[in-house]
Amino acid sequence: MHSFRHLIMFSALALFGPPLAAESQIFTSQEANFRLETVAESLEHPWSLAFLPDGSMLVTERAGRLRVIRNGELSPKPVAGLPASAVTGQGGLFDVVLHPGFEKNRILFLSYAHRTSEGMTTRVARANFDKDRLENVTVIFEALPRSGTSRHFGARMAFDASGYLYISVGDRGDKDRAQDTEDDAGGVHRITDSGEAAPGNPGLDDPGINNTLFTWGNRNIQGMSVHPITGDIWTHEHGPRGGDEINVLRAGTNYGWPEITYGIGYSGLPITLDTEKDGMAQPLHYWDPSIAPSGMAFYTGLEFPEWQGNLFVGALKMQKLVRLKLKDRGVTEEEDLLVKLAERIRDVRTGPDGALWLLTDSPQGKVYRVVPAQ
């Protein structure tokens, strides 16, 4: 793991200015002053953000809409041609990810909850984005079996440097499914851009493992990011009461849920007495109590040189942005930001403009741009 020797310590959050309008507040710390710019608002539970080559952006709304932000303005009409999402419970439209060759092929990928008479599941569709419309929409992944629950869909996605797509699928509220390698729930799947199992997947040589599975023992991953130096896929996942985890994905690795956890059940009773077992990976970092993490990004921009290489994680329950300083694949410093903003942070991205971008999870959700205060 690369050692971030040139990072500067960033701590002691303080807040100045009026308590209502985020844009009028200056957020300060030992090494940086920053503020928030509202780029778009009145979005219904925005879930994911993607930056297009022409400078515009795509934003998903969990209610089943894909929106375009162009020239700093939210287009009033949603993108047409989307597949139908099952908007119930935690379900709906989730992630949007561009194909690595998007500038030429205009291909993107959407994850969403889908329902039939057999129940609900996590699906991924591939489509061409053309003039604010989706064409050639094709389902390339569907987690099976379906179930009647409307929670723990996972649904975060990311491409690695080889062009393979990683898709998280939650345990769907049935914890034992995460240890069943013939069940698609409770793990991360790795596929080609057309939906085939990616070469090197552990199940290709083992009939007891579904061939798209890359890892298992994952409860509900809602943060996924590519390390800017190593190319590793990093994830975070929700624990129950405590035990939210950050992990680095390794093929064929069991991350332990529910056999090991640093959390307890919602009833207050233990899920297990074990926090480690042979053959099960330990988290790189965990939270207890739970912060309900969602969205995650390594900061790679130039607007804040002191943040270079830091990892930013949104928090829903605790309504904050967490900054983690890393060294040798470990967390050396943790700081809570935006705690007085009182917003559920759903997604975090580093933009091509060098700013940090945030989505807030509410019926009147916002797109925020984090910029230097000066």
Query: Active-site residues: which are they?
Result: 152
Q: Which residues contact 202 (CB under 8 A, 6 or more apart)?
A: 209, 213, 214, 251, 252
As a whole number of angstroms, the distance between CA 203 and CA 349 comes to 32
Q: How far apart are CA 254 and CA 257, in angstroms?
A: 8
DSSP state of 306: G
CB 337 within 8 A of CB 26: no
How is residue 155 annotated by DSSP?
Answer: -
The β-bridge partners of 158 are 166
Cα–Cα–Cα angle for 314, 268, 322, rounded to 5 degrees: 15
> Could you tell me the CA-to-CA distances from 370 to 46, 226, 243 in Å, in that order?
17, 21, 29
**Cβ(146)–Cβ(118) under 8 Å?**
yes
Token couple for 194? 């057309």
Give kind and range of the element (H or E) at residue 102: helix 102-105
Sequence-separated (6 or more) residues with CB below 8 Å from residue 206 = none
The gap from C-alpha 55 to its chain's centroid, in whole angstroms, comes to 22
User: Which structure tokens are listed for 31?
Assistant: 């090494």
Return the H-helix or E-strand segment holding 104. helix 102-105
CA torsion angle 245 236 219 368 (round to 10): 120
